[in-house]
Chains A and B, each alone.
Chain A
Amino acid sequence: MNSKDIIRENNEKRKLLNEENLAYYQDMLVYIRLNGGKSEQATEEVLLELLEHLIQAQEEGKSAVEIFGDDPKDYSKAIIKEIPNESNTVRIPFIAYIVVQFLAIISLVNGIVGSGMYYFFELGSSTTVVSLGSGFLIVCINLFLLYLFITFVLKWIKRSTDKKPNKWLEFLQLWLISVVMIGTFIAVSYFMPGFGSEIRFPTIAFAGIGIALYLISYMMNKKLRLTK
């Protein structure tokens, strides 16, 4: 069974838990899943095992606290400690997938917004000049920012399992950090001085490149089952 099949089974089986056990189990699930770089397969296998155990114990009238102890976080830590690290044969294609998809979105937005501005509002120009040196640097900086963003969001979700803050406050925080993130993306491209040899091509071509990259990421995902 692939980790994605196990996740699907977990989603189904979780419905068998009563309210109290479900709340406890879901705390563990979030905490253990956000383990940072541990094998996804091993993580999902142990999560399903814990769920199966809890379901059977529940039938005998036992509670999650009796089985895993008072503190779901403490127990989760003991589990995470023993999960093996993700191997590079799994990690590298996944990172490549995220990078390709990210470039696809940037390219697509650039192409559509850029040519839209020109054709409808006569802003900018129908062609874009790309400086290879600075263009490459911008992409690298943006990928690094994306990495920081993902790391931050994962930490943030993990923290939110400890305290249960107001839903609106959570939304506002996430919204704010996303705005800062997108703003920094744009600022990097805007303020970066151009260097390296220049090539000029129609702005709309970015949309074509974006679609091509998106198709590549789609096929990667389908073939390697990265997210489904």
Chain B
Amino acid sequence: MSLKSQLLKGILEGCILSIIKNEPTYGYELSLKLQHYGLNDVGEGSIYPILLRLQKEKLIEGVMKNSQTGPKRKYYHLTETGVIALVEFTNHWNGLKDPVDRIIEQGGASQNEF
């Protein structure tokens, strides 16, 4: 597995939970939303193994519903466990993103400060 896909794996789960939290979403719509936010490199298909895993872990549930335009679609929503997992993810992410940004930006330059 490439470094990029390893990095993305956990982050994608969090992003998917976050999108689903706002409103019940189906697979294709979810992939469009990820792209809309700029995650263009994520293979569209890569969301389905993740959706299956999140269902297995009971963080999300899928319900087959009629869509307004026609076909029956599986819409996903968060379960209570999913809501808790999303809060945990958000906390972890917030604790990581600033330090990682600082390290990447100043890592080389700040060596003398130690």
B27 and A57 within 8 A (CB): no
In the assembled complex, the Cα of A75 lies from the Cα of B28 at a distance in Å of 17
B24 at the interface (CB under 8 A from A): no
CB distance from B72 to the nearest CB of A (A): 7
A37 at the interface (CB under 8 A from B): no
CB distance from B108 to the nearest CB of A (A): 36
CB distance from A90 to the nearest CB of B (A): 16
Chain A's interface: helix, strand, loop or mixed, by majority? Answer: helix
CB distance from B101 to the nearest CB of A (A): 31
- When C-beta atoms are compared, the residue in chain B nearest to A50 turns out to be B48
User: Which residues of the partner chain B approach A45 to less than 8 Å between Cβ atoms?
Assistant: 62, 64, 74
Q: A45-B62, A52-B28, A57-B44 are in contact. Are A78 and B49 (CB under 8 A)?
A: yes
Of B43, B48, B50, B56, the residue contacting A49 (CB under 8 A) is B48
CB distance from A40 to the nearest CB of B (A): 14
User: Which residues of the partner chain A approach B44 to less than 8 Å between Cβ atoms?
Assistant: 53, 57, 66-68
Q: A53-B28, A56-B28 are in contact. Are A46 and B48 (CB under 8 A)?
A: yes
Of B27, B45, B55, B72, the residue contacting A9 (CB under 8 A) is B72
B71 at the interface (CB under 8 A from A): yes
A19 at the interface (CB under 8 A from B): no
In the assembled complex, the Cα of A92 lies from the Cα of B43 at a distance in Å of 38
CB distance from B15 to the nearest CB of A (A): 18
Of B31, B52, B72, the residue contacting A1 (CB under 8 A) is B72
CB 8 Å contact bits of B47-83 with A (1 = contact, 0 = none)? 0111011011000001010000001111000000000
User: Which residues of the partner chain B approach A81 to less than 8 Å between Cβ atoms?
Assistant: 49
Q: How many residues of B contact A (CB 8 A)?
A: 20
In the assembled complex, the Cα of A140 lies from the Cα of B52 at a distance in Å of 38
In the assembled complex, the Cα of A13 lies from the Cα of B70 at a distance in Å of 12
B27 and A82 within 8 A (CB): no
User: Which residues of the partner chain A approach B56 to less than 8 Å between Cβ atoms?
Assistant: 82, 84
In the assembled complex, the Cα of A50 lies from the Cα of B53 at a distance in Å of 15
In the assembled complex, the Cα of A13 lies from the Cα of B49 at a distance in Å of 22
A52 and B27 within 8 A (CB): yes
In the assembled complex, the Cα of A26 lies from the Cα of B84 at a distance in Å of 38
Closest 3 CB pairs of A and B: A82-B52, A68-B45, A78-B49
Q: List 21 A-B contacts (CB under 8 A).
A: A13-B71, A42-B52, A45-B64, A46-B48, A46-B52, A50-B45, A52-B27, A53-B27, A53-B28, A53-B31, A53-B45, A56-B28, A57-B28, A57-B44, A67-B44, A67-B45, A68-B43, A68-B44, A68-B45, A69-B43, A83-B52
